[in-house]
Amino acid sequence: MATVVIPGRHLVMTRFQEEYFSSILGRPICDLDCYGEFPGDSNEIIDTVIFAVTSANQENSRYNPVPFSARAMGIDRFIEPYRKKFAVVCHIIPIPHQRPSPHFVSFTLKEITEQIGEKVDISPQHTLVLGSTPAVVARYREFGYAILPSEYDFSRNTYRATTPIDCIRMLSEGTKVWRENRRLKKEVAESSLALWDDYPQIPEKIIWIWSDPLLTESGSLTEMRNYSTYAEGMNRRALLEMKYGDIKDAIMPGKIVDEGCADGALMTLLARDFPDSDIIGVELTSEFTARCMERLRAGEFGGTFVHFHQRDLLEPIFADNSVDTTICNSTTHEIWSYGKQDASLRKYLAYKYAQLRPGGRLVIRDVVGPEDKDEEVYLWASDKDGSNDEPEKAISNRDELKVHIEGLSTYGRFLRFAQDFLSGLRKEGRRGEETQIVFREEMVDGVRYVILRLKDAAEFMSKKDYIDNWRSELSEEFAFYSFSEWKRALEQAGFFVLENPNRKDISSRAYTNDWIVQHRFLDKVRLYKKENGALRDFGYPATNMVLIGEKK
C-alpha cells in the first residue's frame, strides 16, 4: 500500500480537490497521471494520506491568515467522506514555519517522520507527493518522488484549475458577505463552506487581514523592521520601568487596554500592579501578536485576566463606554506615519473617546515635536566620532547598511539621514516635497554647522541611533505635532486634558528625556540659535510627552 504526502498551507479546500481525490483514491498508481516515474511497485493503492500543514505556527498574515486549528478542522471535514469510502488513514501534521532554505523539503520529511514515527514509510518507493507549485515540486523530484500534479498541468506549464490561494483572493476581493459571492461558492469545497458557516470568524478574519492596507504580506507594518532588535530596544527592563513610571498613576483600574502593545512587555507590569483589572492588548502585526501569546503561555501575566486582539487601530474595536483606560505607548506616531497623517490620527482619537466610559482616560506616551517647528537652528554634529567617507553610499542589504551607518560619524549620519528620510514614501507619492530635509552648511569660528528647521533637527536627533532599523525608522515621523498641537487635537476630540503643575504623576507634560540626552546627545549633537551674529546655546528640544485625556 502507498502513501500520498500533501505539503502546503491548506488555507481552504476546493471543488477541484474534491474531484481530484475521487480520481486518485482506490486506483493503482500505474493508472494515475503522475509527473515523474514512480520508483516502487506501481500496482500499489494509496491507503494513507498525510497533510503536511506548512507554517503551522504562523497566522494573522496574508500569507497565513488562518490558524492551524482551523486549517486542521477544514482538512478533517474534507477527508471524512474519502476516509469512509476508500478506507484511507489520514494524518494532519503541523510543520513549523521555516525561512526560505534549500533544506525545506528535507525538514518537512523529517518533521513528518518525527511526528508519525517509523510506522508509515514515506520513502519515494512507497510515497507520492501531491503538489502544484512548480518550484516546490522540483525540489521533491530531486529527492526521487513522483508527483501527483493536482491543479498544475506540467505538460503545458500552466494551471488547469482554481487553486486554494485563488479562492482566498476571491474571498478577500469580493463582497464582505462571502455567501453572496457566487464564483467563490462555485470553487470552494462544500466542506470548507460548511466550516465557514459554522465558524464565520474564519472568513471574516481572512477578509480583514487581506483588505487591511497597513499590513504587508507577512503581517507586519513594514518588511524593513527587525522585530527582535525593536523589541529589545523597547523592553530593556530599566527603560521599560521608566516608561511605565511616566503613566502608571494616570491609569484607571477596570478594563485597561494597551493599544499597540507590541510584544506585551508593558502588560506584564500592568498585570502586576492591577491584578483585579482586565488587561487587553491590541496589536496589528502577526510577529508581535505571536510573541504576546508566548508570554501568555509562559504565565508572565500571573493570575490576571489578559486577552489579545490582532486588530487595526483605525477601526472601532470596543463597544462605546466600555473601557476605563486606553494606553497608547509609542503608537500614535505609527498611526500618523503609516496611515493618512492628520486624518488618521483624528479618526483614532474619535474612536478612543467613544470607547471610554465617562471618567475614563486616554493615556498617550510618545515622541513629540518642538514648538516653533519652522524656526531655523544651527546643528553641530560631531565629525570626529566615526568615518565621514561616502555617507550617502547606495546600499541595499540591511546588514551591510547597518555596518556602514554604525561606522559613520554623527555628521556622516546626518548626511545619510537627509538623503533617506521619507524618501521611499516620496517616491510612492505618499509624501510631498515639503518633507525633504533642506539644509545648508556654515563655518563659524572654524566649526562646521548644519542650518535647518528645528523640526528637521529634532527628527534627526531622535533617529540617528536606530541603525538596525534605519529604513523602517526613517519611514516614520516623530515631530509632526508639537505638545500644544497635541493638546488641541485631544480637546477637539472631546477630551479634557489633565494638567496639574503640582502633580507631575498625573499631569500632561512634554519633557526632554535625561537618558536620551546622556546616551545619545551629549558630545554628539548640539543646537544653537544665531543672534546678533553670535551663536547662543539653544538647548535640547522636548523628546517625549505624556498626554492624559479624560472623558467627562
Residue 103 within a domain: yes
**Domain check: are 381 and 355 in the same one?**
no
Strands, E assignment, 177-285: 255-259, 278-283
Share of residues in the chain with pLDDT > 70 (%): 95
Question: What CA–CA distance (Å, rounded) separates 405 from 460?
Answer: 14
Q: How confident is the model at residue 504 (pLDDT cuts 50, 70, 90)?
A: low
Residue 492 within a domain: no
Q: How confident is the model at residue 217 (pLDDT cuts 50, 70, 90)?
A: low
Most confidently predicted of 59-68, 100-109, 457-466: 457-466
Q: DSSP character for 342? A: H
pLDDT in tens, 407-466: 999 999 999 999 999 999 999 999 999 999 999 999 999 999 999 999 999 999 999 999
What Å distances lie between residue 526 and 420, 443, 480, 537, CA to CA? 22, 15, 21, 8
CB-based contact 218:61 (threshold 8 Å): yes
Q: Which domain-ending residue is among 367, 394, 428? A: 367
Give the type of residue at 448.
R
Residue 495 within a domain: no
Residue 484 within a domain: no
The chain-wide mean pLDDT, for the chain, equals 91
Q: Is residue 222's pLDDT more than 80?
A: no
Q: What's 351's domain CATH number?
A: 3.40.50.150
305 vs 100: which has the higher pLDDT: 305
Angle separating helix axes 227-235 and 265-273, nearest 10 degrees: 30
Q: How confident is the model at residue 392 (pLDDT cuts 50, 70, 90)?
A: very high
**Domain check: are 64 and 99 in the same one?**
yes
Lowest-confidence segment of 297-311, 313-327, 372-386, 414-428 by average pLDDT: 297-311
Residue 420 within a domain: yes
Q: What's 25's domain CATH number?
A: 3.40.50.620
Q: What is the pLDDT of residue 227?
A: 42
Q: How confident is the model at residue 119 (pLDDT cuts 50, 70, 90)?
A: confident
pLDDT in tens, 468-490: 889 999 999 999 999 999 999 99
Q: Other CB atoms closer than 10 Å to residue 425's CB: what's the count?
A: 18
| Mean pLDDT, rounded, for 289-297 | 89
Q: What is the pLDDT of residue 225?
A: 47
Q: Is residue 228's pLDDT more than 80?
A: no
**Domain check: are 71 and 123 in the same one?**
yes
The number of distinct structural domains making up the chain is 3
Residue 502 within a domain: no
Q: Compute, in degrees rounded to 10, the torsion defined by CA atoms 425, 431, 432, 434.
A: -100
What Å distances lie between residue 119 and 112, 115, 282, CA to CA? 11, 10, 44
pLDDT in tens, 29-57: 999 999 999 999 999 999 999 999 999 98
Lowest-confidence segment of 5-19, 234-248, 264-278, 440-454 by average pLDDT: 234-248
**Domain check: are 153 and 60 in the same one?**
yes
Question: What CA–CA distance (Å, rounded) separates 532 from 182?
Answer: 75
Question: What CA–CA distance (Å, rounded) separates 379 from 374?
Answer: 14
125-135 burial, b at 16+ Cβ within 10 Å, e below that, comes to ebbbbbbbeee
**Domain check: are 112 and 203 in the same one?**
yes
**Domain check: are 320 and 464 in the same one?**
no
**Domain check: are 310 and 409 in the same one?**
no
The SS3 of residue 5 is strand
Residues spanned by the domain of 96: 2-211
Structural element, H or E, at residue 148: strand 146-148
Q: How confident is the model at residue 110 (pLDDT cuts 50, 70, 90)?
A: very high
Strands, E assignment, 231-314: 255-259, 278-283, 305-310
What is the CA 428 to chain-centroid distance, rounded? Answer: 21
Q: Which domain-ending residue is among 440, 473, 506? A: 473
Q: Which domain-ending residue is among 343, 367, 391? A: 367
What cell was used for 153?
A: 498541468
Q: What is the pLDDT of residue 215?
A: 58
217 vs 166: which has the higher pLDDT: 166
Q: How confident is the model at residue 100 (pLDDT cuts 50, 70, 90)?
A: confident
**Domain check: are 150 and 38 in the same one?**
yes
Q: DSSP character for 307? A: E
Q: How confident is the model at residue 186 (pLDDT cuts 50, 70, 90)?
A: very high
Q: What is the pLDDT of residue 358?
A: 97
Residue 491 within a domain: no
**Domain check: are 193 and 65 in the same one?**
yes
Question: What CA–CA distance (Å, rounded) separates 188 from 178?
Answer: 11
Angle separating helix axes 201-211 and 164-173, nearest 10 degrees: 80
Residue 114 within a domain: yes
**Domain check: are 134 and 53 in the same one?**
yes
| Mean pLDDT, rounded, for 2-13 | 96
**Domain check: are 380 and 363 in the same one?**
no
Give the type of residue at 530.
K
Its pTM stands at 0.69
Q: Is residue 344's pLDDT more than 80?
A: yes
Question: What CA–CA distance (Å, rounded) separates 145 from 34?
Answer: 10
The two most distant CA atoms of the chain are separated, in Å, by 97
Q: What is the pLDDT of residue 523?
A: 96
Residue among 224, 227, 373 nearest 290 (CA): 227
pLDDT in tens, 187-210: 999 999 999 999 999 999 898 888
**Domain check: are 178 and 289 in the same one?**
no
